[in-house]
Amino acid sequence: MGVINATPDSFSGDGLDSHDDPVQAAVKLGRQFVANGAHLLDVGGESTRPGAAPAAAELELRRVTPVIQSLAAAVDVPISVDTSKASVAEAALAAGASIVNDVWGLKRDGALADVVYAHGAALILMHNRSRSAEASGDGRLGGHYVGSEYDELLADVRSELEESIALAHDAGIADEKIILDPGIGFGKTVDQNRLLLNKLGHFKELGYPLLIGPSRKSFIGYTLNLPPDDRLEGTAAAVAVGITSGADMVRVHDVRAMARVARMTDALVRAA
């Protein structure tokens, strides 16, 4: 899954909203991602970096709707909209998206599940305990979470993902439409993120495909003491370990390199 940030404030520095023509820039990037091995594109109009200010629905709509509409006409891969708002999802699905990637796992907008069901869309349910009060910033390495507390990390994340699954079921969304994401980087400390990646098998037991999004995340930066634009190798290691641990899909910024990492890791993990 290639990341297309239709925002000016992405933590990774790849936001397209600052371009003179962000829609054209997104289409160019989407075509490049597909040529480099992306199987899906994920379009977001609200930054989810630690401490980021929320975007109003109207602003998010202006950012993502024209991008998705143009991408849908330009590429032949599924498009996901990264949003937790029912109104944004409704417009994005009408514009050509077929997946909703909800970083709050249906716990922010009660109408979102109904929108997903009505469109027959797929749904990514992510675990998230992000709280701005627990975020700490560093001018070079970026924001990260320092105060996230769990009784037992793996069991708590699994239990809260099960709550999101139940919300999807209540709206009529079928199991085959659901993908789970343990939420690397969202309300977890550096050590907790590393543990999650290494223990994905705990969530595979739930019986759903797993998505991970370790790309350029701060846990890599704080492990290697590197800024977001210098985390390619750290991301590659996280992707390889994640796939080995059970990830079925990886959400990345550096598609060309990570597609190669994914293919090689697949070949090794699935070797007869």
Enclosing H/E stretch for 80: strand 79-82
Opening angle at CA 148, ends 143 and 152, nearest 5: 140
Q: What is the secondary structure of 172-219 as a DSSP string?
A: T--GGGEEEE--TTSS--HHHHHHHHHTTHHHHTTSS-BEE--TT-HH
Q: Using CA atoms, how far apart are residues 200 and 241, in angstroms rounded to an integer?
A: 10
Opening angle at CA 114, ends 251 and 166, nearest 5: 70
Mind telling me the catalytic residues? 217, 251
Enumerate long-range contacts of 234-240, CB under 8 Å, 24 or more apart: 236/261, 238/184, 238/197, 238/212, 238/214, 239/212, 239/214, 239/215, 239/265, 240/264, 240/265
Under a CB-based contact definition with an 8 Å cutoff, are residues 214 and 242 in contact?
Answer: yes
Q: Using CA atoms, how far apart are residues 252 and 212, in angstroms rounded to an integer?
A: 9
* CA quadruple 61, 67, 73, 77: dihedral, nearest 10: -100
- Lookup: tokens for 52: 């980021």
Please, is 253 exposed, middle or buried when counting C-beta atoms within 10 Å of its C-beta (0-12, 13-18, 19+)?
buried
